[in-house]
Amino acid sequence: MKLRMTLLSLILLVSFACKNESTTSSLANYQGEESYSVIAGENKVGYLKTIISGDTINVDFDYKNNGRGPTMKETIVLDAAGYPIDWSITGNTTFGNAVDEKFNLTGSDASWTDATGSGTASVANPLLYVNQFGSPYSAVLAARLLMGAPESTLPVLPAGNVTLTQMETLTVPNASGEGELALTTYALSGADLNPSYFILDSDNRFFASISPRMVVIREGYEASEKQMRQLAENYSAERYQSLQKEYAHNYGKKVRIHNVHVFDSKNLKLTDAVSVVVDGDKIASIDPVDATGENEVVIEGNGGTLVPGLYEMHAHTGDNAALLNVLAGVTSFRDMGNNNEVLANLIEKINTGVLAGPRVTRLGFIEGKSKFNANNGILVGSKEEALAAVDTYDSLGVYGIKLYNSMNGDWAADIVKKAHAQGLFVTGHVPAFSNANAMLNAGFDEMTHINQTMLGWVLEPEEDTRTLLRLTAMKRFPQIDLNSAKVQETMDLFVSNKTGIDPTLSIHEKLMLSRNGEVAPGSVDYVDHMPPNAQRGLKVAMSQIADEEEDKAYRDAYKKIVETLNMMKDKGILIVPGTDLGGAFNLHRELELYTEQLGYSPAEVLKLATYDMAQYLGQEDLGSIEPGKLADFFLVPGNPIEDIKAIKTIGMVSSGGTFYYPSEVYPEFGITPFTGKPEVKE
Ligand SMILES: [Zn+2]
């Protein structure tokens, strides 16, 4: 009897508990496992798996694209309302930095630890935690909470607010082949510069996170990944098209910028005070300071400096960075590799004024097929395919081609020969298992990333640079003897072939000198202007710095890079300014580094990034502020040839006679303006 009772009461107890657990848990309807594929450039490059049991979600997320990508495990415990009350994220970031992020909410005590350190808050009610390193899956948790919130907006931890916006509904064929699956797309904004986009099904189950170049999508629906990427491209384009409509000033008449000193990029000096007249997309005249004209818009320069638009020579164009670059005075891009379709659309929209963005000079990206290949441009499996890719790009009217890590180095000489015969410029990474000397002998016109050249002095022939090794092996740089025969042979090849170097020094600074909890050295001048989560992201090490020895190795390696570039500069090797970090504020840093560490004067580095690059690309109508040239320039209150930092405080930008005032636009990104709008008399 007794036993039976106990058994019965036990069964009752368990079922009650389960019922209670499943009934009270906000995850009652989501128990079980789900699997997702990560797809980049139409290739499956990873997965996301979730297991939901009771009020706990376990997430396993990993992808490898171009030989690198995050590996994350998350355990998330929700309260009955769906707020995460315990969250742990462990793993490694794309560039290898170890992650051990935690959040906990006990009663009214919230505490978290991320790469920037720890924080606490006392909260009257649960608040959503915005994580730093979690997978895209957590968007669904935010969405379920925001759906019931006023204005679909909630304050979040560590700081800021996030807003959910429903974008559209659509259906896709069911994976089972029967019927259709109803979906709704959403945007989540407020934490970062740009919204993130994702999709839920009619049960508010996570279906996909989407971006123009990569999706994480429910298994069985991989066939619709292109459609999903197109949606993200549309949403992003819509956002930027509406910003362009609102903040691009096309005055439709002459514009006079009154009382400015023009930076004469050819002669490295500032003019006396003048007024500059723009008519249409060109500079019409440079007049005496007190000259006036009929029926003009007058922008008051207030004695500031007018600088020609800057060139970012190592860009990967995206609509999200395009406008931010123009606002930072970067009016010309050399695109070093992209999804060709996405890029063609962007260039079309920029050229027709639908989107704000720099003028784009295209390099055709050619990558070899391998398990580590990047998923951009054209992938080739043979020399014949590589030579055919040269023709494809030639027919698209590109400026040149760029070869990448998984290319077969033995094909380079023939590829270069064909490209040169067709008047195409050639640059690139050093293909794995090859070295810089081989590419210089093959006839490269320029070499990309200083590490790609220097690795040839420290790697064994069989070591594979398609992996993170091309970053971690930089720890060997301190042992390089720059006066050794090996190094001098490479230097001599650069000189004799008149080959330039695109060092992307600022990304090396970030890779090797950024540390958890410290503002990255290149970001100190703008970090406080950024939205909360973006500020956090600027206080994270890019690489894995496990201990003091590794810390010292990377610091010494960075010093060796600077010594190498100084030697190259002294030998007359052209240094081509680009960042590979999205340009804008980072291009300002690249130029600043050249003045701080490579011995350029501020005037010399401004000439380099304007007049010299225009000449280098054969763009005669750009690079200086002269009558007849395209009206690409920006206004700063200060004097940038006295202090290069003056280029970081921009009041106005003209991009081909379309005027922008950063102080008007930055709030759309959650950025605090650096200076106000000049007086404009229309
Ligand atoms: Zn790049």
**Could you state, in order of their start, the residue ranges of all structural domains in the chain?**
32-245, 250-309+621-682, 312-425, 429-576
Find all residues with CB under 8 Å of 246, minimum gap 6, and list them: none
Gap from CA of 449 to ligand 1 centroid (Å): 8
Q: With beta carbons less than 8 A apart as the criterion, state whether 293 and 254 touch.
A: yes
CATH placement of domain 250-309+621-682: 2.30.40.10
Cα(578) to ligand 1 centroid in Å equals: 9
User: How far is the C-alpha of 605 from the C-alpha of 612, rounded, in Å?
Assistant: 10
CATH of region 312-425: 3.20.20.140
The Å distance, Cα 408 to ligand 1 centre, comes to: 19
Structure tokens given for 140: 């669904």
Is the predicted pLDDT of residue 25 greater than 80, yes or no?
no
Mean pLDDT of 579-591: 98
How many of the other CB atoms lie within 10 Å of CB of 75? 14
Let me know: does 652 contact 659? Beta carbons within 8 Å.
Answer: yes
| Alpha-carbon span 225 to 216, nearest angstrom | 9
Which residues, in sequence order, are CB contacts of 266 under 8 Å at separation 6+? 607, 611, 624
Instruction: Return the sign of the alpha-carbon dihedral for residues 334, 349, 185, 125.
Output: positive
- Tell me the CA–centroid distance for residue 316 and ligand 1, in Å: 7
Over residues 34-70, the pLDDT tens digits come to 999 999 878 899 999 999 999 999 999 999 887 789 9
Does residue 11 surpass a pLDDT of 60? no
Q: Is the pLDDT of residue 146 over 70?
A: yes
Neighbours of 155 (CB within 10 A): 14
| Over residues 13-20, mean pLDDT | 46
One fold for 250-309+621-682 and 312-425: no
What average pLDDT score do residues 435-450 get? Answer: 98
Segments in 328-405 forming alpha helices (H): 340-351, 383-395
Give the pLDDT score at 95: 83
At residue 24, the pLDDT reads: 57
The overall average pLDDT reported for the chain is: 94
Token code pair at residue 260: 């400015």
Place of tokens 């301190």: 478
pLDDT band at 378 (very low <50, low <70, confident <90, very high): very high
Query: Which has more confidence, 32 or 15?
Result: 32
Which helix (H) or strand (E) segment is 324 a member of?
Answer: helix 319-327
- Scan for tokens 């292109």, then name that residue: 226
Task: Assess whether pLDDT exceeds 90 at residue 153.
Answer: yes
**Across 190-198, average pLDDT:** 92
For ligand 1, the distance from its centroid to the CA atom of residue 542, given in whole angstroms, is 16
Return the closest-CA partner of residue 592 out of 500, 505, 503, 501.
505
pLDDT tens for each residue of 362-371: 999 999 999 8
Among the listed residues 15, 209, 97, 22, the one whose alpha carbon sits nearest the alpha carbon of residue 551: 97
Question: Six-digit token pair at 550?
Answer: 């590794």
Q: In terms of Cα–Cα distance, which of 312, 395, 324 is closest to 357?
A: 324
What are 516-570's pLDDT values in tens digits? 999 999 999 999 999 888 999 999 999 889 899 999 999 999 999 999 999 999 9
CA of 657 to the centre of ligand 1 (A): 29
Reported pTM: 0.91
Quick one: 352 exposed, middle or buried, by C-beta within 10 A (0-12, 13-18, 19+)? Answer: exposed
Phi, psi of 332 (to 5 degrees): -140, 135
Could you tell me the distance, in angstroms and rounded to a whole number, from the CA of residue 314 to the centre of ligand 1? 6
C-alpha 290/C-alpha 14 separation (Å) is 88
Output the CA 170–ligand 1 centroid distance in Å: 35
CA of 423 relative to ligand 1 center, distance in Å: 23
Mean pLDDT of 267-293: 98
